[in-house]
Structure 1
C-alpha cells in the first residue's frame, strides 16, 4: 500500500453507549476545554498519560495539535463521548510511527467515572479495527508502563499480544523513566484474538 493511501480520515465511530468523535476544534466549546483541564489534573492520567492541558489556553493548543494530525492524515485522535449527553469520557489516539511501513501506535485514557466498565477495551478495539481496515495499518503497537495493570488488561482484551519489556523506555508523569510492556497486533491477526 502506498504512503498516500495510509491516511487517517476523520470519521465518527458508534459504540452504542459512547461515540468516538474526531478531536479538533469541534467539539471544542469552553466546557470541552474545562473537561481537558480536569482530565489533566486526574492523578492516574497525570501519571500514565500526562496531558498538556493545565489551563484553557494549553487545552486549546492540545486540541489544535490533534486537528493538525487529522489534517495531515498522520494522527487519529478520538474523543470518547457519552451517547446520552456528549460528556467527555476519555480519548483513543492512533498515530503513525512509520507511515511508509504501515506501523502505528495506539494509546488511550479514560476519566475516573468511565473506568471499570470495559469502555477502554471497546473503544480501543474499534479504533484498532478501523485503523487496519480504513488506513491500511499493517501493525499497531501498544506500550504501557509495567505498573499500569489496567492498561495491560486492555491490551490483552483487545488481542494485543505481549512482545517484551522495554527497559526504562519512557518518561512518565512522575518524572521517572519506567519499563514498558510492548504489545502488538497485526492486520492479519484474527479479529477475535485475545492475548
Structure 2
C-alpha cells in the first residue's frame, strides 16, 4: 500500500473544527474515555490512566502509517474539546475506510457527532482515494444509529456477535456505509 494519507490537517465544520491532536489534550481525553457510557462503546479498556490517554493522543496525532486520519473535534469559536473523529482501517487498494467517533458527555445530543463525521468523510473523499466508508456500532447503542442516519449513511445489515465491547460481551453490530457519490446534505452549513 502506498502512503498517500497527508500530514495532519485542520478541517472546518461550521461551528466545529477538526484539528490535529495535541499532547495537551490528554487530560480531557482521559476524562471522556473513562466516562461510563463512553467506556462501554468507545473505549473497551484501552484508556484507564492519564498515561494511557497520552499514548492514545500520540497515536492519533501520527498519521504516518497511512491507515488513520484522526482529529480532535473542537468548538470553532472557543476551542473547547468536544470529541474525536477518525477515518481508520484506511485501505487504499480497496478504496475503503471506517469511521470512529465519540463526544464528551456535555456535547452529546447537540449534533456534534454527525457534523464531525460528515466533515471527516467529506475531507476523506476529497483527499484520499477512498469511495466507501463504513460505520459499525453495537445494536444496543441506538445513538450511533442516529449519528449514521444524520450523517448520510445507508443501513446495510446486521453483523452477528461481531465485536467485544467494554462490557466484555461480543455484541451484534449494525453496519452502515456512505459512498463518495451518495447525495447527502452538507451538515457544516447547518447551525
Structure-2-length-normalised TM-score: 0.90
1:63 aligns with 2:78: no
- Alignment partners' CA distance in 1, 2:4 and 2:64: 13
Counterpart mapping for 1:41-120 below 5 A: 41-50=34-43, 52-68=46-62, 70-120=63-113
The CA deviation string for residues 54-106 of structure 1, in whole angstroms up to 9 with x for no partner, is 222111111222133x1222201110112233221100010134321111000
Do the aligned residues in 2 keep the contact of 1:40 with 1:50 (CA within 8 Å)? yes
Do the aligned residues in 2 keep the contact of 1:79 with 1:90 (CA within 8 Å)? yes
Larger CA deviation: 136-145 vs 6-15 = 6-15
The CA deviation string for residues 95-123 of structure 1, in whole angstroms up to 9 with x for no partner, is 13432111100011001111111111111
Shift of 1:6: 4.4
Higher relative contact order (CA 8 A, sep 6+): 2
Counterpart mapping for 1:1-195 below 5 A: 3-4=1-2, 6-23=4-21, 27-29=22-24, 32-50=25-43, 52-68=46-62, 70-192=63-185
Do the aligned residues in 2 keep the contact of 1:82 with 1:89 (CA within 8 Å)? yes
CA-based RMSD: 1.8
- Alignment partners' CA distance in 1, 2:72 and 2:90: 21
Do the aligned residues in 2 keep the contact of 1:121 with 1:157 (CA within 8 Å)? yes
Structure-1-length-normalised TM-score: 0.88
Query: How many pairs were matched up?
Result: 185
Shift in CA distance, 145/8, structure 1 to aligned 2, threshold 3 Å: farther
Give ranges in structure 1 of 5+ residues lacking alignment.
none
